[in-house]
Amino acid sequence: MAQGLRKYVEAIPGTPLPHGILGGCADVRDVDDVHELLGIEWLGLGCSPVRDWVDPCLNDESPGEESPGAPQAKIFDRPDLEHAEPINVYAGAECSTLGWTYEEARAHAEASLALGEQQAVEAAFWRDRLATEGQPVADAPVNIAAGLAALEGCLAEQYGGVGTIHVPAGAAALLGCCNLVHEDPATGTLRTLTGNCVVIGAGYSAMNTGPGNVPAEPGTAWLYATGPLVIRRGPVETIPDRNASVNIRTNDRRVLVERTYVVATTCVTCAVQVELCP
C-alpha cells in the first residue's frame, strides 16, 4: 500500500521495567534545590562495625595472684565522607515543522524521556559507580545461586543492614531457577531470602561490565551488591522555547527535554561474575 494512503495514529506507548532502579527498591525523592542536584556528600552510616565488649569486673573467674592486666580498650571509628555525582539524562525530538507543532514535538520528547530515563540512569550508575568501585568476591564465574550467596555474604559482613542486589535484565530469568527471589506482596519489590532488595535493570544489561568497566566474558554476566539507594530527581526541563526550536536554514524543529538525577548508595560495592547457562 502506498505510504500516502496510511492513516496517522498515535505512537505505541511503553512501560519501563517495574523492578528497575526507579522502582520500589530505591528511595526516590523529587527535589527542587539545585544545590542537591549538583552533587551531594554525607558521612557514611553503618559502614563501621558495632563491637561487643566484656566488662572484666563482671568476670566470675578470679585472677588469683596474677594481675588482670589493662582493661580491653574500646575502639572509635571515624566515618568516611561519601559522595554522589549528578547524572544528566535527556531525550531529543527532531522533525520538519510542516505538520508537527511545538506542542507535539515537546510531548513526544517528554514521552521518550519518561519511557527511557530509567534505563539511562541505570547505565550511568553502573558505569560510574558499580563497575568503578566494585570489589570481586569470587575468582571465576560461578552459578547464579553461588554468586548471589557471595554477594549477600559480602553485604552482611561489611554492612549488615538491608542492601540492594543489582542484576542485568539478561540474567534475571535465572533467579527463578532456584527460587532465589520472591515478590514482596506488601511492596511489590523483589526480595532475596535474606531480605535484600533486587533491582533488575535494562541499563545494567546494556553495560554488563565488571570492575574497571571490563566487558563480561561471553556467556557470563556481572552482578553487584550495594547498600540501600537514595535517588534525588530534579524536574523535567524543556529546551529551547517555542521560537528557538526551529532551525530556519533547514526548517526542522528540535526540542530537548532533560532531567538530573543523583544516585547515592553507601558503604560497600561487591561484585561477582555469574554463568548464564544454569
| Per-residue model confidence as pLDDT tens digits over 184-227 | 999 999 999 999 999 999 999 999 999 999 999 999 999 999 99
With H, G, I as helix, E, B as strand and everything else as coil, classify residue 76: coil
31 pLDDT more than 80: yes
CB-based contacts of 111: which residues, under 8 Å, 6+ apart?
A: 11, 13
| Strand-by-strand arrangement of the 181-183 sheet | 135-136, 269-275, 220-226, 164-168, 197-201, 190-192, 181-183
147-182: pLDDT as tens digits? 999 999 999 999 989 999 999 999 999 998 889 999
Q: Which candidate, 47, 51, 58, places its Cα nearest to that of 73?
A: 51
Yes or no: say if 46 and 159 are a contact pair by the CB < 8 Å rule.
Answer: yes
Instruction: State in Å, rounded, how far the first CA of the chain is from the last one.
Output: 47
Assign 8 a pLDDT band (cuts: 50, 70, 90): confident
Place of cell 506542542: 103
pTM: 0.91
Across 36-40, 50-54, 243-247, 262-266, least confident range = 243-247
